[in-house]
Structure 1
């Protein structure tokens, strides 16, 4: 590792626009997309802001680590799916769950009662064609100006990347699965 000197003279960028709600996208093949979104949700909740989390692939009865802690904090986490799509016995049912879930999420965004709405793993139903991309983009464009929306999942469509204010791509460098180490509670859930 090469040692660096801390930057002493850096140009400070002075914001010129007013504060407003943002569209943030966490995408890519690396780990941490949902975790980053949950971190933002915790930060907002810690500031007393109303937050709602929709999980497009998790079942409503899921009890992963994030569900347990958000329940203790009073932050709603709503499972909209039927689990991993590759395990689904009825893909049309999975698609209908995604459409019904999007109707709930869209209504929440448009109502403007929440500072932040997280759409966890929404890229999957978008990529599978279960949700019309234009409907999601229209909702994001037309949302109340104070509402922040965080979208996660691999393969964010170019149109969503273009619309978003902030896009972070998680890059896979190394993963414990590659060494044969299984998923671990508290890390993957």
Structure 2
């Protein structure tokens, strides 16, 4: 047992040296561009977790919800009274429900103007563009428009973009990319989305 404890201590010391070196090398301070993508569940939930964290420190946060705006959102409901949170909602629901490209484009452009305002505001510490990837995929928003707004944003501002099939150029721009991978999803076995768990 003594040998095992000694090996463990040596291993942890080696790990600590490695981690301490990485921490010391991280000297740049600025906002990040983060992308949560993939076909797995939890992208929006992860973004709301970061929203909660930023609000917990008293930072101003803007959230723009594309596509899901008509659904209940437990996180949005819980945080709605926080004076530092602003939420803009496209409010058309899923595109396969509306089935009207012109009205979807108009709704996207309307809420995108809110996003552009948030992205230009140095007082907004975090901006979440929830399900934005679909707006690019369906051609409701031009990638160059997004790219320009991201490039011009305040240096301290972090942006999180969520949604499946993230544009390859968006992935290339991002500082952090997390891909949610679906292994199994209850819905595929006929289980309904559950209030307070799935939304």
| TM-score, normalising length: structure 2 | 0.87
Residues 1:95 and 2:105 are matched in the alignment: yes
In the alignment, what sits opposite 1:143? Answer: 153
Deviates more, 1:101-110 or 1:68-77: 68-77
Deviation of 1:89 (Å): 4.2
Contact 2:71 2:93 in 1 (8 A): no
Cα root mean square deviation, aligned: 1.7
In the alignment, what sits opposite 1:157? Answer: 167
Deviation of 1:105 (Å): 0.3
Choose the corresponding residue for 1:176, options 150, 173, 186: 186
| TM-score, normalising length: structure 1 | 0.91
Runs of 4+ in 1 over 6 A off after TM superposition: none
Query: Structure 1 regions of 5+ residues with no counterpart?
Result: none
From the superposition, tell whether residues 58 and 180 of structure 1 become closer, same or farther in structure 2 (CA, over 3 Å): closer
How many residues matched?
Answer: 184
More helix by share: 2
- 2-structure distance, mates of 1:72, 1:103: 23
Deviates more, 1:158-167 or 1:14-23: 14-23
Q: Cα deviations across residues 10-68 of structure 1 (Å, max 9, x unaligned)?
A: 21202343210100100000000000000001001101111111101133x65421221
In the alignment, what sits opposite 2:3? Answer: none
Contact 2:68 2:93 in 1 (8 A): yes
In the alignment, what sits opposite 1:129? Answer: 139
Q: Any residues of structure 2 matched to 1:25-40 within 5 Å, and which?
A: 25-40=35-50
Deviation of 1:81 (Å): 3.5
Query: Structure 2 regions of 5+ residues with no counterpart?
Result: 1-7
3-state SS of the aligned residue for 1:76?
strand
Q: Cα deviations across residues 89-136 of structure 1 (Å, max 9, x unaligned)?
A: 422101111112112101211122200010001011111000000110
From the superposition, tell whether residues 173 and 117 of structure 1 become closer, same or farther in structure 2 (CA, over 3 Å): same
In the alignment, what sits opposite 1:68? Answer: 77
Contact 2:65 2:129 in 1 (8 A): yes
From the superposition, tell whether residues 176 and 54 of structure 1 become closer, same or farther in structure 2 (CA, over 3 Å): same
